[in-house]
Amino acid sequence: MPAVPTVVTAPAVRRPDAATGGDDPAGLRDVVVAWFDEHARDLPWRAPDRTPWGVLVSEVMLQQTPVVRVAPAWHAWMTRWPTPADLAAASTADVLRAWDRLGYPRRALRLQDCARAVVERHGGQVPDDEAALLALPGVGSYTAAAVRAFAFGRRSVVLDTNVRRVLARAAAGTALPAPAQTVAEVRRAEAFVPDDDAAAARWAAASMELGALVCTARAPRCDACPVRDGCAWRAAGYPGDEHAARRRTQAWAGTDRQVRGRVMALLRDALGPVPQHAVDAVWPDAGQRERCVEALVADGLAVRTPGAGDDHPATYRLPH
């Protein structure tokens, strides 16, 4: 569960006379957007010259990866493949090498599949229609909503982990949202989205930023929160997380993710096919290593060429 914050009496940003909790969505929105106007980070995918493709790439990269790691990778990626057509024409090996250590490399494969679909179905232009976005490979409800809001300035319900946490605390009075998104949660979020396109897009960005910078999961900075005076969680005395037992995260060391990461790093750095003995050397547990290598092959992240005896061992490479 998150640490109980220490609340001090620093002044909040301008707020309406009404409470800013769940009973006054407009009041909470006004305060959060006013805070965002002062504190928004200067992120490249928010720049005036951003493209819908650049926004889509950022959303895929930001899944389970922090901004500090994504920003330089995004810059390099967009310099190399500024349009969907550029990425669609790239070799898969180059795409996986460029993805480097962002983690979860299947995202890179899905992004390239998405680029190909954009070229084939939409003439190389990212669509702004929700149904068309959802039909693209690797694009789910969150990514479609985010692209509509941040690339096209359209009204949508953008509900990532940061927004879910802000609304859980400020409106519902709980430490953290349920592990799985609920119908009631989506309805609550919908009630906070303004009808106007531009205002809705601004709220989406502002509420997400508040969750990322202030209303964080483990150490919320309630002393710096613009809606602390109307926060239902604070008013309730910061009750604990009822889902804490289900939120235990697996340590990185010794996991299949670590093994897969080591094998992928070996393949990315290699100038040619990697022999079996080099793959064997990356991890001592043969059973775990073989399981992870099989998974990489099955996921299309690695290609195995069978061996022909001791003198010609099996080799592995990135897909072309």
Measured distance CA(293)–CA(278) in Å, rounded = 12
CB-facing half-sphere around the CA of 300: CA atoms within 13 A: 10
The answer to whether residue 302 is domain-embedded is yes
pLDDT at 245: 53
The answer to whether residue 162 is domain-embedded is no
The answer to whether residue 4 is domain-embedded is no
Average per-residue pLDDT for the chain? 90
100 to each of 59, 74, 268, 280, how far by Cα in Å?
Answer: 17, 12, 8, 21
The answer to whether residue 249 is domain-embedded is no
Specify the CATH number for the domain of residue 276.
1.10.10.10
CB 211 within 8 A of CB 163: yes
The answer to whether residue 262 is domain-embedded is yes
Range of the domain at 302: 256-317
Identify each DSSP E strand in 146-269 by its residue range: none
Closest CA to 130 of 153, 107, 156: 156
Q: Which residues have C-beta within 8 Å of that of residue 258, sequence separation ≥ 6?
A: 252
The answer to whether residue 307 is domain-embedded is yes
pLDDT tens, position by position, 90-130:
999 999 999 998 999 999 999 999 999 999 999 999 999 99
CB 77 within 8 A of CB 84: no
Q: Does residue 21 carry a pLDDT above 70? A: no
pLDDT tens, position by position, 67-97:
999 999 999 999 999 999 999 999 999 999 9
Question: Catalytic pick from 38, 59, 209, 294?
Answer: 59
Q: Is 59 a catalytic residue?
A: yes
Bridge partners of residue 275, in order along the sequence:
315
- Ramachandran category for residue 39: left, alpha or beta (phi over 0 → left; psi -120 to 50 → alpha): alpha
Amino acid at 240: G
Measured distance CA(174)–CA(72) in Å, rounded = 35
Task: Quote the number of domains for the chain.
Answer: 1
